[in-house]
Structure 1
């Protein structure tokens, strides 16, 4: 794994915005701007590295499913979501409600075993840049090479399987309308598009516009049309804390949710402690404990429901870092401190995508500091291998 300097395309902004990446520029408090999309460098993997990481990612997913079953027993408490949400998640897990995707964050530099940092299994974003933008970058800049990126094709195929398995044909896709950058909207729009390619009839709406018909005891959209299946880019723990969550809790089988309620067991940082309890010493895990650091002398404290590096606390030799934020009341997980790989001052984290339990691609983010936060950069990836010769398909043409 190497970080290779590259010359940005002169029209990169127009191209990435046309592909849906309308949220690359962030304006900081001092008025300066920072770009999320970076193509003045790329990360180069060897094929053996990719094959190893694929195996690791799929094994971590299988282990996480076992950890979900362990958490469902209540052995580690209510995970900061409360008894009602625990019961809903347990019911969903027992029913084997269908799921689609997730993203592991891994620390890896090519010289040792990858280490799992966390699993974003409920509402992971980053699909536009990982599935689309870096693929088109490859066609323009390195067309003779392969890329670790089968995300688009995998999503389309997964949605097609969900349609066949459930017997449903119409999917509502919901996002938070108040999110101002456009990131949630574009990720939801992309998932809506892949569902369409997978054969679903689709309808987009804001999460706040999902209604409950008390007489018919069913969820409805703004036209009072019944909602049978819905993808919601909104965290389960927030939905269950809202008064609306009462209807979800009282009528768990009224609608098919993507991602399903059992993802609450995977989207909590308590998963890290559960994995270490079940698989102590596993080479791809970091020691982790719930509520206290246990034997750890250098650790990272993570709020159970934290996102984007908010409220992260790092305690290590020469380091005492506290990130701001609004999380933490729900509880904490303490994970062994493992610094991110440093590529010339650029600290990289691999976002390893999982669709239907299979490893399908990666998105690489890097930061200047110890925490991958709102100011991280996304860089494309290349495999040091020739591009596969494939017959053109409708899916590839519509990416």
Structure 2
């Protein structure tokens, strides 16, 4: 795995905006960054990323089956007891799911190490599935990269298959928080796929969802039969409408059982079930979150997002910390697997699971060992 410098396409910003990719630049800084690309071999992709993602996903599904049958484990994950039955029934009744993303530390030479699971509301979907594929096609057409170059990217195809398999006949609503350009882009992309497989789709802001006689409704009081929501279950569990979900007849995506896998408390559980697994890092509950993080370890809150409230202590003694709002839940300690450094940037590999299939990767960079909301998305290709 190596990073290769390359010229930007002179018209890439116009291309992005024509396609609705409006957050390619955030606060004047690049989010999409095609001044370079990551090059991997086919063996690295298949053996070190695709196969482990598939295996870890199976382990995660087995873990969910154990957790839903144990109130002690549900309690250990900080899930409110009022929602045990909702989560349990969503799993036992086989409520379908669409997607998830695993984040890995991987430098091309050893086993990829799982840093965390993003299985409820992962973003960076459009840029991974569609825009980086378009980048590759255009670069090949313009002679900027070899014609034999490929990409580990079946995300779009798998999403089409996943939506088609739902056999949905009623309107499917896609909801994001009002004013979030990135989240709206994610839901718009998924809506486009739903439309292509014959599902009627509608957008609604999460703040505009109402409750009428026990049913979730839109602004015209129309029933919402199917709802994809870019709003985390741990937030819903704290909101007034959360209590109405069990008795409503709305099908949720992602389903309630994803609350288990969007919780960093599962990382110690995975380690306890599979100690020494080459793709897992040692992890345990943090008995003293106020103590200094030991060298070679990382402290993470259960519900941290985009690096917030992460504390990291390198073996050399460097202590890094990111502020944030996620300080009201338990913490874990996870063995440090430092991200590889390329020039002045540290690279994180996000490996996508669509349905139950490993489907592709997206790579983000940060100037720090902790990947934050200011990270950059950099395309990749496969070339032997």
Matches within 5 A, 1:260-339: 260-292=255-287, 297-317=295-315, 318-339=317-338
Matches within 5 A, 1:132-147: 132-143=130-141, 144=147, 145-147=149-151
**Matched residue, 1:176:** 177
**Matched residue, 2:37:** 42
Aligned residue for 1:149, secondary structure, equals coil
**Matched residue, 2:16:** 16
CA distance in 1, matches of 2:329, 2:89: 22
Q: For each residue in 1:84-113, what CA deviation from the matched residue of structure 2 results, as whole angstroms up to 9, or x when unmatched?
A: 133321221121211010011011111000
Aligned residue for 1:157, secondary structure, equals helix
**Matched residue, 2:79:** 81
Q: For each residue in 1:152-182, what CA deviation from the matched residue of structure 2 results, as whole angstroms up to 9, or x when unmatched?
A: 111011000012xxx5432111111143xx0
Residue 78 of structure 1: how far off its partner (Å) = 4.5
CA distance in 1, matches of 2:266, 2:338: 20
**Matched residue, 1:222:** 219
Tell me whether 1:240 sits opposite 2:237 in the alignment. yes
Residue 74 of structure 1: how far off its partner (Å) = 3.2
TM normalised by structure 1 equals: 0.89
- Of the structure 1 ranges 328-337 and 279-288, higher mean CA displacement relative to structure 2 is found in 328-337
CA distance in 1, matches of 2:26, 2:219: 33
- Of the structure 1 ranges 62-71 and 187-196, higher mean CA displacement relative to structure 2 is found in 62-71
CA distance in 1, matches of 2:344, 2:354: 32
2:62 aligns with one of 63, 66, 73: 66
Matches within 5 A, 1:376-395: 376-384=375-383
Q: Is the 8 A contact 1:303 1:312 kept in 2?
A: yes
Q: Is the 8 A contact 2:77 2:266 kept in 1?
A: no
Q: Is the 8 A contact 2:105 2:112 kept in 1?
A: yes
**Matched residue, 1:192:** 191
Aligned residue for 1:261, secondary structure, equals coil
Q: For each residue in 1:164-212, what CA deviation from the matched residue of structure 2 results, as whole angstroms up to 9, or x when unmatched?
A: xxx5432111111143xx0011111111111111221111101122222
CA distance in 1, matches of 2:66, 2:326: 24
**Matched residue, 1:102:** 100
Q: Is the 8 A contact 1:19 1:132 kept in 2?
A: no
CA distance in 2, matches of 1:322, 1:274: 25
Q: For each residue in 1:353-395, what CA deviation from the matched residue of structure 2 results, as whole angstroms up to 9, or x when unmatched?
A: 100111111110011111010121111111116xxxxxxxxxx
How much is the aligned-residue C-alpha RMSD, in angstroms? 1.8
**Matched residue, 1:154:** 158
**Number of residues of Structure 1 aligned to a counterpart in Structure 2:** 371
- Of the structure 1 ranges 290-299 and 338-347, higher mean CA displacement relative to structure 2 is found in 290-299
Aligned residue for 2:346, secondary structure, equals strand
Q: For each residue in 1:264-323, what CA deviation from the matched residue of structure 2 results, as whole angstroms up to 9, or x when unmatched?
A: 000000111110011011000001112338997521111111100000011233122221
CA distance in 2, matches of 1:19, 1:46: 30
CA distance in 2, matches of 1:22, 1:85: 37
- Of the structure 1 ranges 298-307 and 259-268, higher mean CA displacement relative to structure 2 is found in 298-307
TM normalised by structure 2 equals: 0.93
Please list every run of at least 4 consecutive aligned residues from structure 1 whose deviation after the TM superposition is greater than 4 angstroms: 293-297
